[in-house]
Amino acid sequence: MPTTDFSEQWTSMMQKMFLPTSAFSSALRENARHFWENQDKILDNMQAFTNAWFERRHVGAHSASEACERMCGTETAVDLAQAYQDWVRGAFERIMADGLACQQQIIAATSTLASPPIAPSASEKAVEPQRSETKASARTKA
């Protein structure tokens, strides 16, 4: 008389039901790889952005220090105004560089994130246009 181990059967059935098929598994693997590559790109861009920002802050601090030295050593109001104007020009250039760097960072981040989170498999790509056509024709009939 054969013995029936229901817990073993249950475990086997659940594993078969929830383990991904090979096609699904390869799509998951590809999506995971793509996700982590995008994370790397984002982190690289953020690091480059922050490094450049800190470099501009250092340049700004040194420029301000030099401008203070020049302003304190001037003998006329014209020389004082010129030293101040030189410093302001550099500060404005750094502000503009910050804005440009932010814009470039946003573009880089959105282009990295613009790709779909889950890429369809090759068979799904072939089926998708047919689905769209079916939906479009169903809408025109309605």
Residue 70 within any structural domain of the chain: yes
* Cα gap 108→38, rounded to integer Å: 11
* Residue range of the domain that includes 35: 29-114
Do residues 67 and 83 make contact, with C-beta atoms less than 8 angstroms apart?
Answer: yes
Q: What is the pLDDT of residue 133?
A: 54
The number of folded domains in the chain is: 1
Residue 2 within any structural domain of the chain: no
Residue 12 within any structural domain of the chain: no
Do residues 46 and 105 make contact, with C-beta atoms less than 8 angstroms apart?
Answer: yes
| b (16+ CB within 10 A) / e for 106-118 | eebbeebeeeeee
Instruction: Name the strand (E) or helix (H) holding 28.
Output: helix 22-72
For tokens 């690091």, name the residue. Answer: 47
Mean pLDDT over residues 22-47, rounded? Answer: 88
For the stretch 83-96, pLDDT in tens is: 999 999 999 999 99
Count of CA atoms in the C-beta half-sphere (13 A) of 8: 3
Check pLDDT > 70 for residue 134: no
Residue 99 within any structural domain of the chain: yes
Q: What is the pLDDT of residue 116?
A: 55
Residue 66's CB is within 10 A of a number of other CB atoms, namely: 14
Q: What is the pLDDT of residue 109?
A: 75
Higher pLDDT, 59 or 114: 59
Mean pLDDT over residues 9-35, rounded? Answer: 79
Backbone angles phi, psi at 138, to 5 degrees: -65, -35
Do residues 34 and 115 make contact, with C-beta atoms less than 8 angstroms apart?
Answer: yes
Residue 94 within any structural domain of the chain: yes
Check pLDDT > 60 for residue 1: no
Check pLDDT > 80 for residue 64: yes
Q: What is the pLDDT of residue 65?
A: 94
Higher pLDDT, 31 or 3: 31
Residue 127 within any structural domain of the chain: no
- Band (pLDDT 50/70/90 cuts) for residue 73 is very high
Percent of the chain past pLDDT 70, that is, above it, reads 73
